[in-house]
Amino acid sequence: MMLKPEHISAYSLILEEGTPFFERYASRPNGESPPPLRSAEYEEIDREMYYLTRELLADQGYERYEISNYAKPGYECRHNLGYWTGVEYLGLGLGASSYTHGYRYHNTVDLNEYLSLDLGQPGIASRDIQELTMEEHMEEFMFLGLRLMQGVSGSEFLSRFGQNMWNVYGTVLEKLTEQGLLEVEAPFIRLTDLGIDVSNMVLSEFLLD
């Protein structure tokens, strides 16, 4: 905290197989196999570290505005907020990803191909173009927006999609609220502390069939 940064992102460390860090973890001097990375013991340690991080940063004046992000008042990351609230973005350069006009796509990842293109022609480098359906837009609104501490707004849902959030997700919302994983403060719905602990499970509930 000596550097007094305006913003801190605090994510759990993930040891990816195939990396030197993972190989060092897996290589025990006595030849014993390491415990599973997602064991119950590690899950508990991870959760305790998460709580401690929240408390320490709050004591230093950082406000938690997203599950894993903290900032001094007024210094929330606009770039990240854009992702979580569905703001369009344009990626420029080799392999860059974009989301515009309801379409998600990326530029070619082949450097030779990229250099051979007439980049003055709009979209000529775009690959894997996907048009999001209305259901996919609603899903993302919910499971990305619920990462924010303020939650998602039923009024904004109605404005964007022309449907009442409770008509679309009523069963899920009622179940998660009864389980103490969501709380309602109209027009907002947000994760509780317990809901944040199991956020991956909670957010998966908003995938429509």
Pair (197, 162) in one structural domain: yes
In this prediction, residue 30 has a pLDDT band, given cuts at 50, 70 and 90, of low
Pair (16, 67) in one structural domain: yes
In this prediction, residue 44 has a pLDDT band, given cuts at 50, 70 and 90, of confident
Rounded mean pLDDT, 90-96? 94
In this prediction, residue 186 has a pLDDT band, given cuts at 50, 70 and 90, of confident
Give residue 28's domain range.
7-76
Q: How many domains does the chain have?
A: 3
Question: Could you tell me the CATH number of the domain that includes residue 147?
Answer: 1.10.10.10
Pair (126, 147) in one structural domain: no
Specify the DSSP element, H or E, that contains 36: none
Pair (139, 170) in one structural domain: yes
Sheet holding 69-71, edge to edge: 7-9, 69-71, 63-66
Pair (72, 90) in one structural domain: no
CA distance 146 to 156: 13
Of 158, 141, 62, whose CA–CA distance to 102 is shortest? 141
* 55 lies in some domain: yes
